[in-house]
Structure formats: C-alpha cells, structure tokens
Amino acid sequence: MEVANQSIVVEFVLLGLSDQPRLEKTFFVLILLMYLVILLGNGVLILVTVSDSHLHTPMYFFLGNLSFLDICYTTSSIPLVLDGFLTPRKTISFSGCAVQMFLSFAMGATECVLLGMMAFDRYVAICNPLRYPVVMSKAACVPTAASSWVAGGANSLVQISLVIVTLLWG
C-alpha cells in the first residue's frame, strides 16, 4: 500500500531582499512615495471628475472607474510589501496569499474588461457620433461598469478556486 504525502501548506516564506537588508529601508521609502503618488493622482482625478459637472460624460465616468480600480489594485499588494520591508517576519499565511491573489486577479481582469468598455466608448464616439448619446447614456454606462467589476470578480473566483483545489488535493 502506498502512503500519500499528507503535508498541509500553512504559510509561505517571502524572501524578498533577504541578502541585502540595508536596501530595505531605501526601497521602503521609494515604494511608499510611489504608492502615495498613485493614491494622490488617482484620488485627484476621481475628485475632479465627480465635482465638475462638465466632466460627467461616459469617458470620464470610465476614467474614474479606472482610477478607483488602480487604487484598489495597488492597495491589494503594496501594504504587504511595505510591511515586509520593516518587520523581520517575512511570511504570509495561506489564506492571506489566497485573498491577495484573488484581489490581484480580480483587479487585473476588471481592468481588462473596463479598458474594453472604454475602447467601445471611443469607437462609438468616433464611428457613430450621432448615435453616441443614445448608445452611451448613463443608463448604459453604469451597468456596463458594474458588469466589468462582476466579471473580474467571477473570473478571479474561478481561478482562485482552481488553484486552492489543486494545492489542497493536487
């Protein structure tokens, strides 16, 4: 009778810059500055498009969604990277890894669908300018953007469930 491997993955070790500990503080500052620029730039874009009534068009609606998506995308991974630079603990739990992977896949898939929606918006504006207000009305843009978020989440859910099933019962 053959005995199968019964080990269970509890956490992953993040090596990062383990051989260059002096660079960790420098990279922490650089990544923190880039993260703050990302938050500030996308936050300002969202604030401007919401506050200025002239920018309440489908193009800026999708740009606002893309900016919010970028904030979510970077926030799903950068805090863990920054934590890894400052603390001696260089591990992530299995569930934490799964959640981070889910969020990264969801944001990536949502971005792809959202960029497709933005391309369609520009296509209609250029190729069918007289029909543009009807095709890209607010009643069409909100469900379209919401469906891109749902599609990204559903895609990520399928991918993560397959990864977890493979790791656990492989």
pLDDT computed for residue 114 by the predictor: 95
In angstroms, the CA 71 to CA 118 distance is 18
Q: What is the CATH number of the domain that holds 63?
A: 1.20.1070.10
In a domain, 4, yes or no: no
pTM: 0.85
In angstroms, the CA 32 to CA 116 distance is 31
pLDDT computed for residue 18 by the predictor: 63
In a domain, 43, yes or no: yes
In angstroms, the CA 64 to CA 83 distance is 29
Q: Which domain holds residue 113?
A: 22-169
- Measuring CA to CA, which residue among 117, 121, 145, 142 is closest to residue 132? 121
Per-residue pLDDT tens for 88-104?
A: 777 888 888 889 999 99
Chain-wide mean pLDDT for the chain? Answer: 89
